[in-house]
Chain A
Amino acid sequence: MEEVTPRVVFSILGIPVTDVVTTTWIVMAIIVFVGWILTRSLSTKTSKMQVLLESLIEFYENIAVQVMGEEGKKFVPLAISIGLFILFSNWIEVIPGFHAPTRDLSTTIALAIVAVSSTYIAGIRKKGLHFFKKYIEPNPIFLPINILEELVRPVSLAFRLFGNVLGEEIVIAILVMIVPLILPIPMILLGLFTGLIQAFIFSLLTLLYVAGAVGEET
């Protein structure tokens, strides 16, 4: 278990700074740098990387338009930024010496709070106070259940990502302890795949929750 728990790198004014935070900084730097490199020379004569980026954005825009119509396109940047951050966080563990920042519950809860609070902001912007009417529909008796459902959302988002990444890291740590040579490699490849899936799921659920908040009453 010591291999995967966050370890303190240094401390500022008595506040310990773990490697989760420093790895997050590195991930942020990588994303900003890669984004700057890729968008530096945009043109109508598309290069290969531009086609890749455009197809990624188009993929999300199609989903957004499917679930909430044309207005869904303005929530695509939110979903893609969350997804890219989680993707790079999950994938950075293939670099020796790094661990995924998403294996710490603090990171995933922060992401879930961002995702869920953005649904409230979007819903209140769209409908005003009518947004809260959905809690007493179809009947005020359902108020506790509806509130419970709202509370379960960020918890399930956070724990899904956290449990997946942490479980996989523990499996890899145990395999490295038993057979350090070649056996962990298939597990690490599987980890790359689950990391991609989890990033996709998290951003897709963000989009769906926003769609549920701004969409028509059903």
Chain B
Amino acid sequence: MLTGKALVIIASIISAGFGMGIAVLGGALGEGNAVSKAMESLGRQPEAQSSIMTILLLGLAFIESLVIFMLVVALVLLFVNPFVGMVQ
């Protein structure tokens, strides 16, 4: 018979894993799109390399930060879960 605490732990682990997977999927798709578009414009205008690189890095960091938010949530769920203490 599963106790409430065990159920909370199982739910936390599963949601951390699935959340990370979905977040990484979305982030990878977005970053791939951005990089491919940047490469295209780089092929068209090689002289604009420095400004394209700066803007690309900035955009990648923004996309990446969304994935990082999920990573922080997953770390909270796995290591400092606040809900485990709530159920007895």
Contact = CB atoms under 8 A, between A and B. Distances in A.
Contacts of B84: none
A115 interface: no
B58 A201 contact: yes
A157 B79 CA distance: 23
Given A162-B72, A163-B71, A197 B57 contact: yes
A170 B68 CA distance: 13
A1 B79 contact: yes
Interface in A31-77: 63, 66
A159 B69 contact: yes
B70 to A, nearest CB: 9
Classify chain B: how many residues form its interface, as a range.
10 to 19
Contact of B68 (A159, A197, A204): A159
Contacts of B71: 163, 167
Contact of B65 (A63, A160, A170, A200): A160
A66 B51 CA distance: 10
A156 interface: yes
Nearest to B79: A1
Interface string B68-88: 110110010001000000000
Contacts of A204: 54, 57-58
A164 B58 contact: no
Nearest to A63: B54
A93 B58 CA distance: 25
A166 interface: yes
A204 B79 CA distance: 32
Given A159-B68, A160-B64, A160-B65, A166 B75 contact: yes
Contacts of A200: 57
Contacts of B11: none
B48 interface: no
B10 interface: no
A201 B72 CA distance: 19
Contacts of A63: 54
B28 interface: no
8 pairs of A and B residues whose beta carbons are closest in the complex: A163-B68, A160-B65, A201-B61, A163-B72, A1-B79, A163-B71, A167-B71, A160-B68
Interface of A: 1, 63, 66, 156, 159-160, 162-164, 166-167, 170, 197-198, 200-201, 204-205, 208
